[in-house]
């Protein structure tokens, strides 16, 4: 009975632009690569989980610290890495979209200020139905192995 009420609620809410898709999306481990201070761009990575029974599309992203934010992927063409903007990132019903170095990522282009390790950047993800979700992405060095080594030595 309770689940029926929730379902009804969900159906009613999904009619409005703000609710809907974003409510069924959870984000794990959002982070931004700590880039050299003079880097023009850097990448944001995370795992996007879709707990709904419908496929969802992430269609845009934005943040206050870069002039442009784009969705990108990499194609490895015989060792030549080709970065391409993608119109959307698909998140299958009940599945995950993995944004990671060398593959899908959110690209922050033309930074307004250099990011420092530990900075928190609010990253807003926009979905196909117009709903959106904002997550706090932490700036950290990319190679987890480097970090582990760092941790071991201290």
Partner 1 sequence: MLRRNTYLVLGGLIALLLIGLLVFKPGLESNHAPSPATAARTQSDANKDFTLFSANGPTSLSSFKGKYVLLYFGYTFCPDICPTSLSNVASALKQLTPEQNANLQLLFISVDPERDTPLRLQEYVTFFNPGFIGLTGDQTSISDVTTQYKVIYAKQPAKSGSETYSIDHSAMLYVLDRDGKQIDQIGHDASPDQIAASLSKHLNPPKDKP
Question: Which residues of the chain form contacts with partner 1 (CB under 8 A)?
Answer: 33, 35-43, 67-68, 70, 72, 74, 76-77, 79-85, 101-102, 105, 107-110, 141-143, 145-146, 149
What's the closest the beta carbon of residue 65 comes to partner 1, in angstroms?
Answer: 14
Closer to partner 1 by Cβ: residue 22 or 108: 108
CA 76 vs. chain centroid, Å, equals 21
Closer to partner 1 by Cβ: residue 54 or 140: 140
Quick one: which of 52, 36, 108 has its CA closest to 99? 108
CA 25 vs. chain centroid, Å, equals 11
Helix (H, G, I), strand (E, B) or coil at 53: coil
What's the closest the beta carbon of residue 86 comes to partner 1, in angstroms?
Answer: 10
Closer to partner 1 by Cβ: residue 35 or 97: 35
What's the closest the beta carbon of residue 95 comes to partner 1, in angstroms?
Answer: 23
Quick one: which of 133, 112, 105, 110 has its CA closest to 32? 105
Per DSSP, 92 falls in state -
Closer to partner 1 by Cβ: residue 37 or 94: 37
What's the closest the beta carbon of residue 60 comes to partner 1, in angstroms?
Answer: 11
Closer to partner 1 by Cβ: residue 102 or 122: 102
What's the closest the beta carbon of residue 72 comes to partner 1, in angstroms?
Answer: 8
Matching residue, tokens 């307004």: 112
Cα(31)–Cα(136) distance, rounded to whole angstroms? 8
Cα(110)–Cα(65) distance, rounded to whole angstroms? 9
């Amino acid at each position: 009975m309770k689940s029926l009420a929730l379902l009804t609620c969900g159906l009613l809410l999904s009619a409005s632009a703000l609710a809907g898709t974003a409510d069924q999306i959870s984000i794990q481990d959002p982070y931004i690569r700590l880039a050299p201070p003079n880097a023009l761009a850097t990448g944001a990575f995370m795992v996007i989980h879709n707990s709904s029974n419908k496929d969802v599309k992430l269609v845009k992203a934005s943040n206050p610290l870069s002039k442009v934010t784009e969705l990108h992927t990499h194609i490895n063409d015989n060792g030549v890495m080709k970065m391409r903007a993608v119109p959307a990132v698909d998140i299958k019903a009940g599945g995950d979209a993995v944004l990671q170095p060398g593959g899908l990522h959110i690209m922050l282009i033309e930074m307004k200020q250099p990011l420092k390790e530990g900075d928190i950047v609010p990253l807003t993800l926009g979905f196909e139905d117009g709903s959106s979700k904002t997550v706090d992405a932490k700036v950290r060095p990319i190679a987890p192995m480097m970090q582990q080594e760092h941790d071991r030595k201290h």
